[in-house]
Structure 1
């Protein structure tokens, strides 16, 4: 029992309020500390009893789904079918590829039945053992580079030599010999036709050369040799005549027969890449101009350089050995037997690219 008599005291829990102490515990609600307390204990108000909870309304039962109509005959799933995601039954095995559902009414084979062997199958010999598979985790040991198998490189299968229209390509030596013979023939024609012009040019140049040599023998510094206007005109005329003689010698012969005198002696011939017919004067002129027109620039040495490079150009084409003037006219030089003027094999139609790429 507490010794504190009943009365109003400050609430130890909240000193700003006061409550009534009945000797055993706090009673009633707290009032402000500066308020005048009533005489005696406060009136205790009884709280009303909680109303009883109403019963939860009953939920209506969900409507029943109508049963699906029965499937028509022939639309039932096959035996053993299961919906997607379902686990297969114990002991089920995946059917082999190409397996088909047997038709209705088919009978299962009797126990112990085996598939007959395919036609041509032979019984393996006695003692035959199938090859064994390597164990799990086995790897091929590394081999020394010298023991590696030989790869199928290109040099093991050499590319066959092109044979346009069934004829072998003319050799570089044959083409050079034929060109040298043609140069000698054209030079002889120039001696006959350009001989008079060369003689007139020498008549003007001889006094200039004699004077130059006399100054050298006398120990004096000779003057520069200056050609006369007549000499310049004669030089231009000789170059034009030499170019024209070369054109008249080569272009008509290549246009008709495909052979100059030098090519006939060596046994080679110029033919079109796509046809064995004569190439005609237009293509023959274009082929000659690629090489012979540079003669007009002999006076500045540019013509000699270009003709030399054109003569070397067959070595740049390892496939058809076409020179630059051959490429411009779409021709190729082939070797023909002596006395033969036509190829022994018919030309392939245009578009089949006979003899490889141009």
Structure 2
């Protein structure tokens, strides 16, 4: 049985021999046998009575017998009114509600589910779990790309050290490795290749994220989990500048990680960026706030 569009008495979906009252949002626990009442929608504002002869609100100055007061459900709780929204796929309405007598906010202590956070125009925001999943998927993909593009430079950075360790292992001279001083260990690294490898890795990360955000409004990880990125003020395709601004913080963190004294700070900045959506009312990470973007469910219009 389909859900009624208005409050009133209707055939009970669970028992054809009785009627159940629908309060406009959910089926209530209030039922009556069919012999005492016939299914009917609520009386209109100009009607003089209902099919059972009970006086209407217009006739008595109050609600009809057996009907809740206007603006409340069968339990006397305030009901929300649809203020604005838009039709989504599969014939579903995505809108926002106002709660009478509570300044537009949901009343506390009435058992209502917490409304889902949305953008200003009503698009549902992505929850934290899928965002973390997308982050992990993208991280694995970028790691593989870095291995293909910059792996050779990382190897050459450590080549002398690996050769020293290999020769010591062949001689069975474990003490040679343990006796290395910090200065001797640092001198074995070719720091030119370190900077080349770091630059290539940051370039791969930037091209990956900016390219996919510009072309599809989502990285492969987000596409796998049904998420996309949009501007706070409007949906649609992201500009290259917006996509790049969203990468400024991750790129800056990558550069700071090369500075020994600042590498510890990088950990806390990265952690704050990852955890920020948990408490932010717009569910934005720090890099979202810099770019003015939000992560939402579903695809963006092209």
TM-score range, shorter chain: 0.5 to 0.7
How many angstroms does 1:283 deviate by?
Answer: 1.3
**Residues 1:162 and 1:209: Cα distance change in structure 2 (over 3 Å):** same
**Residues 1:219 and 1:228: Cα distance change in structure 2 (over 3 Å):** closer
Could you tell me which runs of 5 or more consecutive residues in structure 1 were left unpaired when the two chains were aligned: 1-119, 123-151, 344-358
8 Å CA contact 1:253, 1:260 repeated in 2: yes
8 Å CA contact 2:142, 2:205 repeated in 1: yes
**Residues 1:287 and 1:121: Cα distance change in structure 2 (over 3 Å):** closer
TM-score, normalised to structure 1, is 0.47
8 Å CA contact 1:271, 1:279 repeated in 2: yes
Render the CA deviation track for 1:6-36: whole Å, top value 9, x for unaligned.
xxxxxxxxxxxxxxxxxxxxxxxxxxxxxxx
Paired with 1:273 and 1:221, the residues of 2 have a C-alpha distance of 57
Which of 1 and 2 has higher RCO (CA within 8 Å, sep 6+)?
1
TM-score, normalised to structure 2, is 0.55
8 Å CA contact 1:269, 1:334 repeated in 2: yes
Which region of structure 1 is more displaced relative to structure 2, 238-247 or 193-202? 193-202
Q: Which has the higher helix share?
A: 2
Render the CA deviation track for 1:237-256: whole Å, top value 9, x for unaligned.
11111111000000122133
Structure number, greater radius of gyration: 1
8 Å CA contact 1:271, 1:331 repeated in 2: yes
8 Å CA contact 1:167, 1:335 repeated in 2: yes
Give the aligned partner of residue 253 of structure 2: 294
Could you tell me which runs of 5 or more consecutive residues in structure 2 were left unpaired when the two chains were aligned: 1-58, 62-101
Give the aligned partner of residue 277 of structure 1: 236
Give the aligned partner of residue 163 of structure 1: 118
8 Å CA contact 2:237, 2:300 repeated in 1: no
- C-alpha RMSD over aligned residues: 3.1
Question: SS of the residue aligned with 1:274?
Answer: coil
8 Å CA contact 1:204, 1:228 repeated in 2: no
8 Å CA contact 1:216, 1:222 repeated in 2: no
How many angstroms does 1:210 deviate by?
Answer: 5.2
8 Å CA contact 2:229, 2:294 repeated in 1: yes
Alignment of 1:1-358 (within 5 A): 154-156=107-109, 160-164=115-119, 165-209=121-165, 216-217=174-175, 221-224=179-182, 225-228=184-187, 231-299=190-258, 300=260, 301=263, 302-317=265-280, 319-336=281-298, 340-342=299-301
